[in-house]
């Protein structure tokens, strides 16, 4: 089943005759984390001046492999060849010196620093900051212009939106003169427009003869920008193919080892009674900035209402306000016909849960789980007071573990061990744990934020199916996502948010990517 059409990782070939040696060649890379065998004898060759895709389900070992190349982890066995020379990469400093740059899946930025400080960290150019910083500023401004990577150099990173933070990561790599740029799931946090912008940059780099390795779960992107693509599964390379000679369906099958439905099948919605009503809602954040402004809409039973928008336009605050986690500055929220939040009073998250609200948060690590807890303990977060999980004053330990085991089996969580630490599950599986927990409360209203961020296709298919099932069971769902595919595939009605306001509402049938894109960018305004 391994389709090895083009660039073979075998040696020799790349160096024969007048051929340029591959920019990167990995041979027999092996890596274990305690009992986890993350990479098994991986060989991979990336020709110079190409964009190379790496795909694979969650936990396949993609990030690990790239971190080894970047010197962050040390391989247990194997060799790294760069431009035809074997290199010992013992630290990230070695990798940087070898011309490798990496944009990590979880950004490696110091939140309290300015953009400039983050970029120069490690390449300050002298023991005193002043001179180096001035030079860096000039150089950075040049890079920003050249690649259209605008960010305010003096902004504090903690205040910036994720899309901007990614630009900083790319700037960091470029500033260090990277010849090979590794991007680990860069588009997970970007809007389509931002993603397109990123790809333009990648193509520009390629035109300069630079090489890029792109890890992503989005096959569309693989097809659009890469020259070759490697598929990983369970720590192994299962295929390396020329992009031009493959299809999304074929890649997906390689990834999960079976056929995958890439789009969701669904019947038209049959909206029932109104479950959620939001009127004139205003939310102000800690810094006193209004993040949600005069927002009003309703969600009915049996329908999915999607909220589209570029990340950081108030969607998160909107969801958190409805979930009772943020104060309401003006307006009101009505749940099941009962007023639950106004400026004067608002129910606590706990009381809202008692009123059949469930919430799948957009950031599972920060909110959805308690990372160091055993899975079964994370699986009752928010439900710790539920009678089924308590016997008198005590927690019903057996019941909790059984329930978690049951959910793991039903939602195909792997490994299906409730005793394992939550941190030890891959992103997709963590998401399934949260999903299972929230859906199984049998809510009237389900708030869903970025349900498939960083989740592999197999899991996405599953999650989407569950959401549709839930809708069909007569639940009201409010879905926030920056993935237009997802919104278009799932939502029955679509609201578009821009700078805290709802700038448009479209029925599913009339929506398409272009219309949404314009609304999201704030250029158009729909009735």
Partner 1 sequence: MARSSDDVPAWVDLALLPLVNLLAAFAIAAVVIAILGENPFKALWVLFYGALGYGEAIGFTLYYATNFIFTGLAVAVAFHAGLFNIGGEGQAYLGGLGCGLVGLALGGWPPAIVLPLAVLAAMLFGAAWAFIPGYLQAKRGSHIVITTIMFNFIAAALMTYLLVNVFIKPGQQSPESREFDPSSWMPFVHEVAARVGITIARSPLNMSVVVALVASVGVWVFLWRTRWGYALRVVGHNETAAVYGGIAPVRVVIGAMALSGALAGLVGVNAIMGDQHRLILNFTGGYGFVGIAVALMGRNHPVGICLAALLFGALYQGGAELSFDLPRLTKEVVVVIQGLIILFCGAFEGLFRPRLLALFRRAPAPAPAKA
Partner 2 sequence: MGENGVLLLLMIDATVRVATPLVLAALAGLFAERSGVVDIGLEGKMLGASFAAAAVATVTGSPWLGLVAAVLVSMALSMVHAVACVTYNGNQVVSGMALNILMAGLAPTLAFAWFSQGGQTPMLGPGARFAPIVLPFAEALAPVPVLGAIYGRISGHNVLVYIAALSVPLVAFVLYRTRFGLRLRAVGENPQAVDTAGISVAGLRYRALLCNGVLCGLSGAYLSIAHGAGFVRDMTAGKGYLALAALIFGKWRPLPTLLACLLFAFTDALQARLQGAVLPGLGAIPVQAIQALPYVLTVLLLAGFVGKAMAPKAIGIPYVKER
DSSP character at residue 19: P
Residue 105 vs 378, nearer CB to Mg ion: 105
Cα 319-495-470 angle, rounded to 5 deg: 65
Q: Using an 8 Å Cβ cutoff, are 46 and 207 in contact?
A: no
Subset of 342-361 contacting partner 1 (CB under 8 A):
348-351, 353, 359, 361
Q: Using an 8 Å Cβ cutoff, are 372 and 421 in contact?
A: yes
Inter-axis angle of helices 427-439 and 397-410, to 10 degrees? 110
Number of Cα atoms under 13 Å in the Cβ half of residue 266: 27
The 3-class SS string of 436-479 reads HHHHCCCCCEEEEECCCCCCCHHHHHHHHHHHHHHHHCCCEEEE
Query: Which residue from 268, 366, 509, 527 is in contact with partner 1, where contact means CB under 8 A?
Result: 366
Binding string to Mg ion for residues 97 to 116, with x set by CB under 5 A, is what? --------x-----------
User: In terms of Cα–Cα distance, which of 235, 190, 198 is closest to 214?
Assistant: 198
Told to check if 517 binds partner 1 by CB under 8 A, we report no
Which helix (H) or strand (E) segment is 357 a member of?
strand 357-360
Total number of residues that touch ligand ATP (CB under 6 A): 23
Told to check if 296 binds ligand ATP by CB under 6 A, we report no
Told to check if 441 binds partner 1 by CB under 8 A, we report no
Q: Cβ of residue 270: shortest distance to partner 1, in angstroms?
A: 31
Q: Cβ of residue 168: shortest distance to partner 1, in angstroms?
A: 24
- Judged by the rule CB under 8 A, the positions of this chain that interact with partner 2 are 33-34, 70, 72-73, 91-93, 95-97, 102, 104, 108-113, 117-118, 120-124, 126-130, 132, 172, 423-424
The residues facing 300 across adjacent strands are 274
The residues facing 307 across adjacent strands are 480, 495
Give which of partner 2, Mg ion, partner 1, none residue 26 binds (C-beta under 5 to 8 Å, depending on kind).
Answer: none
Subset of 62-121 contacting ligand ATP (CB under 6 A):
62-64, 105
Give which of partner 2, ligand ATP, Mg ion, none residue 298 binds (C-beta under 5 to 8 Å, depending on kind).
Answer: none
Query: Which residue from 168, 252, 269, 369 is in contact with partner 1, where contact means CB under 8 A?
Result: 369
Query: Which residue from 39, 43, 45, 63 is in contact with Mg ion, where contact means CB under 5 A?
Result: 63
Write out the DSSP string of 175-217: HTT-SEEEEESGGGG--HHHHHHHHHHHHHHHHTT-EEEEE-S
Residue 53 vs 361, nearer CB to partner 1: 361
Q: Using an 8 Å Cβ cutoff, are 376 and 400 in contact?
A: yes
How far, in Å, CA of 318 to CA of 326, rounded?
A: 9
Subset of 421-440 contacting ligand ATP (CB under 6 A):
424, 426-427
Residue 104 vs 359, nearer CB to partner 1: 359
Query: Which residue from 14, 314, 361, 382 is in contact with ligand ATP, where contact means CB under 6 A?
Result: 382
Give the binding site for ligand ATP (CB under 6 A).
33, 36, 38, 56, 58-64, 105, 350, 353-354, 382, 384-385, 424, 426-427, 454, 456
């Amino acid at each position: 089943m391994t389709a090895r059409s083009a660039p073979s990782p075998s040696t020799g070939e790349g160096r024969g005759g007048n051929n340029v040696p591959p920019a990167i060649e990995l041979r027999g890379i092996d890596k274990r984390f305690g009992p986890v065998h993350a990479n098994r004898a991986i060989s991979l060759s990336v020709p110079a001046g190409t964009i190379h895709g790496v795909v694979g389900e969650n936990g396949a070992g993609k990030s690990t492999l790239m971190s080894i190349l970047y010197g962050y982890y040390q391989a247990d066995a194997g060799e790294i060849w760069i431009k035809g020379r074997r290199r010992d990469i013992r630290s990230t400093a070695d990798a940087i010196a070898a011309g490798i740059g990496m944009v990590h899946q979880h950004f490696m930025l110091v939140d309290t620093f300015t953009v400039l400080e983050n970029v120069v960290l490690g390449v300050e150019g002298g023991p005193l900051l002043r001179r180096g910083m001035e030079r860096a500023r000039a150089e950075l401004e040049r890079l920003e212009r050249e690649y259209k990577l605008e960010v305010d150099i003096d902004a504090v990173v903690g205040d910036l939106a994720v899309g901007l933070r990614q630009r900083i990561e790319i700037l960091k790599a470029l500033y260090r003169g990277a010849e090979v740029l590794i991007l680990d799931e860069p588009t997970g946090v970007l809007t389509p427009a931002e993603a397109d912008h990123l790809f333009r940059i990648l193509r520009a780099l390629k035109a300069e003869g630079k090489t890029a390795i792109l890890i992503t779960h989005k096959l569309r992107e693989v097809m659009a920008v890469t020259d070759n693509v490697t598929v990983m599964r369970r720590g192994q390379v299962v295929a390396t193919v020329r992009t031009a000679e493959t299809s999304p369906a074929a890649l997906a099958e390689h990834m999960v080892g079976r056929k995958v439905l890439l789009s969701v099948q669904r019947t038209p919605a049959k909206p029932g009674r109104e479950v959620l009503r939001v009127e004139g809602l205003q939310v102000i954040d800690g810094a006193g900035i209004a993040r949600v402004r005069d927002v009003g809409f309703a969600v009915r039973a049996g329908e999915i209402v999607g909220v589209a928008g570029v990340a950081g336009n108030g969607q998160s605050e909107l969801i958190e306000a409805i979930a009772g986690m943020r104060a309401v500055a003006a307006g009101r929220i009505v749940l099941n016909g009962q007023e639950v939040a106004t400026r004067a009073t608002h129910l606590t998250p706990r009381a809202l849960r008692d009123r059949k609200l469930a919430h799948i948060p957009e950031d599972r690590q920060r909110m959805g789980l308690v990372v160091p807890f055993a899975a079964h303990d994370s699986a009752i977060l928010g439900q710790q007071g539920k009678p089924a999980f308590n016997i008198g004053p005590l927690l019903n330990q057996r019941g909790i573990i059984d329930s978690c085991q049951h959910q793991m089996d039903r939602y195909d969580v792997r490994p299906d061990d409730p005793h394992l630490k939550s941190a030890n599950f891959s992103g997709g599986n963590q998401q399934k744990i949260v999903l299972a927990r929230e859906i199984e409360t049998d809510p009237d209203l389900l708030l869903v934020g970025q349900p498939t961020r960083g989740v592999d296709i197999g899991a996405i298919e599953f999650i989407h199916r569950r959401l549709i099932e839930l809708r069909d069971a007569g639940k009201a769902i409010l879905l926030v996502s920056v993935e237009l595919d997802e919104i278009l595939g799932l939502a029955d009605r679509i609201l578009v948010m821009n700078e805290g306001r709802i700038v448009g509402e479209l029925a599913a049938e009339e929506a398409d990517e272009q219309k949404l894109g314009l609304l999201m960018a704030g250029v158009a305004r729909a009735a």
